[in-house]
Amino acid sequence: MSSEARLYSFSQETESRLRKFRLGTSRAKEPQAVIYQIDKQSLEIAQVGDEVFTNIQELADELPDHSPRFVLLSYPLTLPSGRLSVPYVLLYYLPVTCNAELRMLYAGAKELMRNTAEVGKVIEIVDIEELESIEGKLGGAE
């Protein structure tokens, strides 16, 4: 058991939601995203609300200005070859304005969240405006 797994936890409900979201978005026709946060007292990682965002701007509006979050994103896109791809990624939202304690809290849980959610890639974003160019990052262009 990794040290992260001993420190941070997921409820059975959260693990079930993670699995359901991953399996349910593999054939999605539009972007789908859910936001996760860490409870500072219990160190439990849980979904924020029940909303599944299908609009990147609405997702951006929901992210706090000064607190990190994990965002699971399934984003259908057409590759240059014409093939449809649906990357399933973890957006590690770490605003520059958040305090050191929160930075450390989320940094310590990043790999556990990545492995538990079974995402293909982790993309770190520090500014909400970076969400506007997320398609380019998913397509491989930086």
Residues 34 and 71 sit within 8 Å (Cβ to Cβ): yes
| Long-range pairs for 46-52: beta carbons < 8 A, 24 or more residues apart | 46/10, 46/11, 46/14, 47/14, 47/17, 52/21
Structure tokens at 101: 């304690």
- Nearest Cα to Cα of residue 100 among 108, 92, 90, 112: 108
Q: Which residues of 93-120 are buried (b: 16+ CB within 10 A; e: fewer)?
A: bbbeebeeebeebbeebbebbbebbebe
Mean local confidence (pLDDT), 97-105: 93
Q: What is the pLDDT of residue 140?
A: 52
Mean local confidence (pLDDT), 14-30: 89
Residues 70 and 33 sit within 8 Å (Cβ to Cβ): no
Mean local confidence (pLDDT), 105-131: 93
pTM to 2 decimal places: 0.90
Q: What is the pLDDT of residues 49-86, one digit of tens each?
A: 999 999 999 999 999 999 999 999 999 888 888 888 88
| Long-range pairs for 51-56: beta carbons < 8 A, 24 or more residues apart | 52/21, 54/30, 55/31, 56/31, 56/131, 56/132, 56/134
Structure tokens at 14: 């959260």
